[in-house]
Copies of this chain bind each other. A is one copy, B any other.
Amino acid sequence: MKKAKILIRKGKKQFIEDLDREVTTVKEKRFYIGDLSRDFSTQYGTIKKADLKKTGTVRSSQNKDFSIFDASFIDHYKRMKRLPQIIPLKDIGFIIAKTGIGPESVVVEGGTGSGALAIMLARLCKKVYSYEIEKKHLEVAEQNIKELGIKNITIKNKSMYDKIDEKNADLICLDLPAPWKALDNVKKALKTGGFIVSYSPTIVQTADFVNALTEMPEFLHLSTVEVIERQWEVEKRKVRPRSKTIIHSGFLTVGRKI
């Protein structure tokens, strides 16, 4: 993982008597500093190159205080180049927790897309094999994997519909337009007791997949869910669900090879 810094200027609110309410007087600002070899400029002044090595509080040329610290994995992750329809973190977390994968697990997934799921899984597992047919996606994914310094992903420019080379996988994740077409291959590649997870944005794809899965004696359908991340606003007594938020990404189906 490449060295980078996060620089934050915290927002401020102030009570304005004439308005009888709090007003944001300083907007929160967040900067990702990828190049630590020279001064970094913001609208609130410049941070000296020497200060970029610090952790804690630094002061800009305009005498404004900032917090600075090493970018962590998730900071780098959020900087990744994204293709449309990236699987959100809430769904990735669900897959990790529900299947219980860990440092000894071997995972196969496809399509790679921008590599987001592969990267998160690779961080926590032994090895990830990822299938992708689109060359353009491959390039994006490879660049992202390199930037995040992940070493245990092997990407294959192949379709899971045709063949899955691996055997005895602990988990196979499908983010494919027709996941049911991969089931015969998944069956051979997964170890007995291994998990299959499919992610689809629409319910019709999901239903077709589940109906195909339940027809096959080698699989157990465990559950099909939507994971909804409902955001709340909390500000003194103003406590309420955010009125407009992204409320749908996709449906997740979890099964098991028996």
* Interface residues in chain A, defined as those with a beta carbon under 8 Å from any beta carbon in chain B: 6, 8, 10, 28, 55-56, 67-75, 77, 89-90, 92-103, 120, 123-124, 170, 191-193, 201-207, 210-211, 214, 217, 220-221, 223-249, 251, 253, 258
Chain B residues with CB below 8 A from A191, complex form: 55, 69
Chain B residues with CB below 8 A from A94, complex form: 89-90, 93-94, 229
Interface pair B103/A97, CB less than 8 Å apart: no
Chain B residues with CB below 8 A from A202, complex form: 237-240
A246 to chain B: closest CB distance in Å?
5
Chain B residues with CB below 8 A from A253, complex form: 234
Chain B residues with CB below 8 A from A203, complex form: 203, 232, 239-240
Interface pair B8/A258, CB less than 8 Å apart: yes
Cα distance A237–B249 when bound, in Å? 16
Interface pair A69/B205, CB less than 8 Å apart: no
Nearest-neighbor residue (CB-CB) of A231 within chain B: B225
A93 to chain B: closest CB distance in Å?
3
Interface pair A100/B124, CB less than 8 Å apart: no
Contact of A228 among B205, B228, B233 (CB under 8 A): B228
Chain B residues with CB below 8 A from A217, complex form: 10
Interface pair A124/B102, CB less than 8 Å apart: yes
Chain B residues with CB below 8 A from A242, complex form: 247-248
Cα distance A214–B8 when bound, in Å? 15
Cα distance A199–B202 when bound, in Å? 20
Chain B residues with CB below 8 A from A240, complex form: 201-203, 248
Interface pair B234/A225, CB less than 8 Å apart: no
Contact of A244 among B223, B224, B244 (CB under 8 A): B244
Chain B residues with CB below 8 A from A258, complex form: 8, 10, 67, 69
Interface pair A192/B228, CB less than 8 Å apart: no
Across the A-B interface, the 8 shortest Cβ-Cβ residue pairs? A74-B100, A93-B97, A93-B93, A69-B193, A67-B258, A241-B248, A210-B234, A228-B228
